[in-house]
Amino acid sequence: MESYIYRTDKLILDLTEWLTEATGSAFAAEVVKMSIAAAVLSAFVGLLAMILIYIERKVAGHMQQRVGPMRVGPHGILQTVADSIKLVAKEGLTPKNADAFIFNLAPLLVFASSFACLSFIPFSPGMTIVSFNVGLLFILGIASVGVLGILAGGWASNNKWSVLGAMRSGAQIISYELSATLALLAIVPFFGTLDFQEIVLSQQKGWWIWRAPGVGLLGFLIYTIASTAECNRTPFDIAEGESELTGGFHTEYSAMKFAMFFLAEFINIFIVSAISATVFFGGWMPFHIEGLDTLNRVFDLLPPIVWFFGKVACLVFVVMWFRWTFPRLRVDQLMHFEWKYLMPLSLINLALAAIAVSAGLYFFN
């Protein structure tokens, strides 16, 4: 049983085999497997958002010489549970002059796009809910459906602050998506696949952040900046801009509809960090140095899932660190930065990566 923690691909295979025997057909087994996956993922999403919100508040507190939540439970660990119960119990209002159908649809759109992205993330060997040979491309595609929800929500609220926030958010996400995609694209030629599991397997000898000379690091930096902007987080939080727009596109939302936006925001942080960890930091692959077998064995003791979540946690912390350090950019500065600096830089990066790949200029090849 113990080996299942390390060989999750074997666990999935055995489970599929057992389900096929029990249900009698491969299709039924697949249906049951997907149902289990959906249930587990839903629980995971709720838990993840609660933990991330708690951590965010604690990190924010300590970075500003405060302590964060302290009252509910020891060191406030039950604070987000209490908040969730409050949000669920509240009345879900729809403003009188709002377009009720679109207004209620918008949070679902945002949440669904984030939720769908999670099913492509490789948590552990073989543990991807949907194995897809163009997973990376697909995830980038679905992620941009979220902006539709934000725009729809802002528009349907019939509130000028909401529309302003939604417009800013749309402009920002559409702009920064280019840089994020180009930064990931620069690394794709090195491993020559878009399947997440194969991307991880290609990093057995070393992570792409240093295996791709210079290009990896630059790509990682560009992706970190652009993905922070895509998540609408400080220093790119002009879409919410609490001090300017009283919350931006979600000004009119309350109760569960607001919770959906909030949940999606935190899942998005997890997703961009997971993509970053998978592409640049080897996903669930343990840290290995060729030649040092003893050290490699020690690192192998940790199950892959721990490696994956450890890497993601570090990257999430970096994003939170940005939020509580940097001041907000103005709209014109934001556009200026993306179109004049970040995008040309990522195009140059892509060109350099192409040269490096065709010349075979990367480590451990």
Partner 1 sequence: MNIFVKTLRGLKGLLSGMGLTFGYFARPSKVITQQYPENRNTLKLPERSQARIDLIKNAETGRYNCIACGLCVKACPNNSIELTKFKDPETKKFRPEKFVYHFERCLVCGLCVEACKFDALRMTSEFETAAWSPDDLVEILNKDDPWAHDDKSDIGQQTAPDKNEQTASPARDTDRQEHTGAEEKTIQPKDRSPK
Q: How far is the CB of 118 from partner 1 (least distance, A)?
A: 28
- Beta carbon nearer to partner 1, 35 or 325: 325
- Beta carbon nearer to partner 1, 63 or 361: 63
Q: How far is the CB of 317 from partner 1 (least distance, A)?
A: 9
Backbone angles phi, psi at 129, to 5 degrees: -70, -45
- Beta carbon nearer to partner 1, 10 or 66: 66
Q: How far is the CB of 326 from partner 1 (least distance, A)?
A: 7
- What burial class does residue 192 get, using C-beta atoms within 10 Å of its C-beta: 0-12 exposed, 13-18 middle, 19+ buried? exposed
- Beta carbon nearer to partner 1, 263 or 329: 329
Q: Which residues bind partner 1 (CB under 8 A)?
A: 59, 61-67, 70, 321-322, 324-326
DSSP for 120-179? T---STT--SS--TTHHHHHHHHHTHHHHHHHHHHHHTT-HHHHHHHHHHHHHHHHHHHH
- Beta carbon nearer to partner 1, 256 or 345: 345
Q: How far is the CB of 63 from partner 1 (least distance, A)?
A: 4
Backbone angles phi, psi at 360, to 5 degrees: 65, 30
* Cα–Cα distance for residue pair 338/91, rounded to 1 Å: 40
Distances from the Cα of 349 to the Cα of 49, 94, 126, 343, angstroms: 34, 47, 31, 10
- Beta carbon nearer to partner 1, 42 or 64: 64
* Of residues 122, 278, 290, 279, the one with CA closest to residue 212: 279
> How many other C-beta atoms are found inside a 10 Å radius of the C-beta of residue 202?
17
Residues 6+ away with beta carbon under 8 Å from 31: none
Q: How far is the CB of 342 from partner 1 (least distance, A)?
A: 12
Q: How far is the CB of 343 from partner 1 (least distance, A)?
A: 16
